[in-house]
């Protein structure tokens, strides 16, 4: 189970919270431009440092300059990330448009084809660079899971992780039963360790998670002068009570607290009164069940084998 990298979201604060909830899910950094790492080589801790508890963790790098990509990888090596991922899929106009990397690299594979990659994360939707937003790219292009499983068949010596449209633990497990080596989703699930990795339930409650996050948060606020702020650190918490009693009031109180709170302790004292004790003292969530298996008949839908298509082109 891989938690998808998201610009301005999967930062240290988000990953700290995610790791308090799941001990096993693979976490990803935000995409860092190779040039940021190269030109900030005297300030790398600000961009690359993380706590040991965040393992397993992947650094995602973006760029189109082979020399800078190599330098960035070398500079990141002492930080001991479990993997380094090269972004060839981001459809954001800032990245694939002005930046000329991310999904744009698929139009010119000269850079991406020179990487010694053995693990590929395949998005099951085509990236459209014709003006639709990144959010729309995650919903408008149709899912083509059969092409992902075609890659598994055609390149058995490589490792493939499936991404796109997978939103529940049941769907994660269904994709793995169909043969996926790994699954990427846009969020962490509170029950991922039990339902996917088979670990005993930790029974950890929201209150216990917040107590530990407060210790982290108060050490992080203002670490680099005025940044990060309480708002920056607390942002990943805003989904913690989704659909629970008191969630709306909690968010309104949080908005007000961001204007003047300077510590996570004071932020929690001011806002958590909105959440009933039974919610704070309950685990994050339980596995969902039921629903249609989107991969049940996937192996009957596979495209022609890669070698066959290649031979057809030779004789066309």
**Residue 176 belongs to domain with CATH number:** 3.20.20.70
Confidence band (pLDDT; 50, 70, 90) for 50? Answer: very high
Domain membership of residue 49 (yes or no) is yes
What dihedral do alpha carbons 70, 76, 77, 79 form, nearest 10°?
-170
**240 neighbors 190 (Cβ within 8 angstroms):** no
pLDDT for the residue numbered 89: 75
Domain membership of residue 254 (yes or no) is yes
- 22 and 128 co-located in one domain: yes
Domain residues for the domain of 161 are: 2-201+299-307
- 195 and 99 co-located in one domain: yes
**180 neighbors 200 (Cβ within 8 angstroms):** no
pTM: 0.88
- What are the tokens at 182? 């790994």
Q: What is the pLDDT of residues 213-223, one digit of tens each?
A: 999 999 999 99
Number of domains in the chain: 2
Among the listed residues 88, 90, 100, 261, the single catalytic one is 90
- Other beta carbons within 10 angstroms of residue 164's beta carbon come to 20
- Other beta carbons within 10 angstroms of residue 23's beta carbon come to 15
Task: Report the DSSP beta bridge partners of residue 33.
Answer: 62
pLDDT for the residue numbered 70: 92
- 195 and 237 co-located in one domain: no
- 93 and 223 co-located in one domain: no
- 90 and 74 co-located in one domain: yes
- 146 and 244 co-located in one domain: no
Domain membership of residue 216 (yes or no) is yes
- 229 and 174 co-located in one domain: no
Extract the annotated binding site: 5-7, 60, 123, 163-165
pLDDT for the residue numbered 152: 96
Domain membership of residue 313 (yes or no) is no
- 94 and 189 co-located in one domain: yes
Extract the annotated binding site for FMN: 5-7, 60, 123, 163-165
Domain membership of residue 10 (yes or no) is yes
- 156 and 17 co-located in one domain: yes
Q: What is the pLDDT of residues 81-111, one digit of tens each?
A: 999 999 887 766 665 455 566 767 777 766 6
Domain membership of residue 104 (yes or no) is yes
- 187 and 218 co-located in one domain: no
Check if 90 is active-site: yes
- 34 and 171 co-located in one domain: yes
Domain membership of residue 312 (yes or no) is no
Domain membership of residue 314 (yes or no) is no
What dihedral do alpha carbons 257, 260, 264, 268 form, nearest 10°?
-30
Angle at which helix 206-220 crosses helix 264-271, to 10 degrees, equals: 140
Q: What is the pLDDT of residues 251-307, one digit of tens each?
A: 999 999 999 999 999 999 999 999 999 999 998 866 555 578 999 999 999 999 987
- 115 and 96 co-located in one domain: yes
């Amino acid at each position: 189970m891989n938690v998808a990298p998201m610009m301005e979201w999967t930062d240290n604060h988000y990953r700290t919270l995610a790791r308090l909830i799941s001990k096993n899910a693979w976490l990803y950094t935000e995409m860092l431009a190779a040039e940021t790492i190269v030109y900030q080589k005297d300030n790398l801790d600000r961009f690359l440092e993380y706590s040991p508890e965040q393992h397993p963790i992947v650094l995602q790098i973006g760029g189109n300059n082979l020399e800078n990509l190599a330098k960035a990888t070398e500079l990141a090596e002492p930080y001991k990330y479990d993997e380094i991922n090269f972004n060839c899929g981001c459809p954001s106009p800032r990245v694939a448009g002005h930046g000329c990397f991310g999904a744009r690299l698929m139009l010119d594979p000269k850079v991406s084809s020179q990487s010694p990659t053995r693990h590929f994360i395949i998005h099951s939707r085509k990236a459209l660079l014709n003006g639709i937003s990144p959010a729309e790219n995650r919903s408008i292009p149709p899912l083509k899971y059969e092409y992902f499983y075609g890659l598994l068949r055609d390149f058995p010596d490589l490792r493939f992780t499936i991404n796109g449209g997978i939103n529940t633990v049941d769907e994660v497990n269904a994709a793995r039963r169909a043969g996926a080596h790994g699954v990427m989703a846009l969020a962490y699930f509170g029950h991922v360790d039990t339902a996917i990795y088979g670990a005993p339930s930790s029974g950890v409650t929201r209150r216990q998670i917040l107590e530990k996050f407060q210790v982290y948060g108060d050490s992080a606020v203002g670490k680099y002068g005025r940044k990060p702020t309480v708002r920056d650190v607390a942002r990943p918490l805003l989904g913690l009570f989704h659909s629970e009693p008191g969630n709306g009031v909690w968010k309104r109180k949080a908005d007000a607290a961001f204007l003047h709170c300077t510590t996570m302790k004071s932020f929690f004292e001011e806002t958590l009164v909105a959440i009933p004790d039974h919610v704070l003292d309950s685990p994050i969530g339980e596995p969902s069940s039921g629903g249609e298996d989107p991969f049940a008949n996937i192996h009957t839908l596979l495209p022609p084998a890669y070698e066959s298509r290649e031979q057809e082109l030779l004789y066309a």
